[in-house]
């Protein structure tokens, strides 16, 4: 889709991005539409016999942002979220933890490179702090990677693998 920040040129994108600063306007309609699409996929998996508590959302950059937002707004109880090099979109719409949120106890692994020029490291660390006010803070893990730009690294992938193995044990181990 065309992305405003990319001179309106088309690129793979979940929603439009107007700017990369904390005060930039956000594509609220696009974020909510993309989240509803993810929720429909979750609902379909549940209909196919996958318990929602065995579904983990994850993504990089916009995908991570959308994963966090969707986990906080879905009525399905999820296994958790892997959020890489991202931020929490529409963060001001989440004033505090909601006792009725089915994912208030979910586990979140958030990873961010300290040399990220696209989604500044500060956005990632501020997101982790905001998440601690929305879900059980003991379940939020924020990992930083020295010198890592807006990409992934082998150390990060090992951390992701360990997190997934912990959150989604083999069916026979439950």
150 is catalytic: yes
Range of the structural domain that residue 153 is part of: 24-167
- Residue 8: band (very low, low, confident or very high) from pLDDT cuts 50, 70, 90: confident
Q: Percent helix, strand and coil across the chain, each rounded to 5? A: 45, 15, 40
pLDDT at 116 over 90: yes
Catalytic residue among 4, 43, 52, 150: 150
Beta-ladder partners of 16 = none
125 domain residue, yes or no: yes
154 domain residue, yes or no: yes
3 domain residue, yes or no: no
pLDDT at 28 over 60: yes
Looking at residue 170, its pLDDT comes to 66
1 domain residue, yes or no: no
pLDDT at 1 over 70: yes
107 is catalytic: no
**Domain count along the chain:** 1
């Amino acid at each position: 889709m065309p992305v405003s920040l990319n001179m309106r040129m088309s690129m793979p994108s979940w929603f439009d991005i107007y700017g990369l600063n904390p005060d930039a306007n956000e594509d609220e309609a696009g974020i909510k539409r993309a989240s509803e699409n993810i929720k429909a996929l979750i609902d379909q998996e549940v209909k196919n016999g996958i318990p929602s508590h065995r579904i983990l959302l994850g993504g990089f950059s916009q995908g991570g942002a959308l994963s966090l937002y969707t986990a906080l707004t879905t009525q399905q109880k999820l296994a958790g979220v892997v959020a890489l090099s991202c931020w929490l979109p529409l963060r001001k719409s989440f004033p505090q933890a909601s006792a009725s949120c089915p994912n208030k106890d979910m586990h979140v692994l958030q990873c961010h490179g300290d040399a990220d020029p696209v989604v500044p490291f500060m956005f990632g660390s501020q997101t982790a702090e905001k998440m601690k006010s929305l879900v059980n803070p003991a379940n939020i893990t924020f990992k930083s990677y020295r010198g890592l730009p807006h990409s992934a690294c082998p150390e990060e992938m090992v951390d992701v693998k360990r997190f997934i193995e912990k959150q989604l044990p083999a069916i026979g181990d439950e």
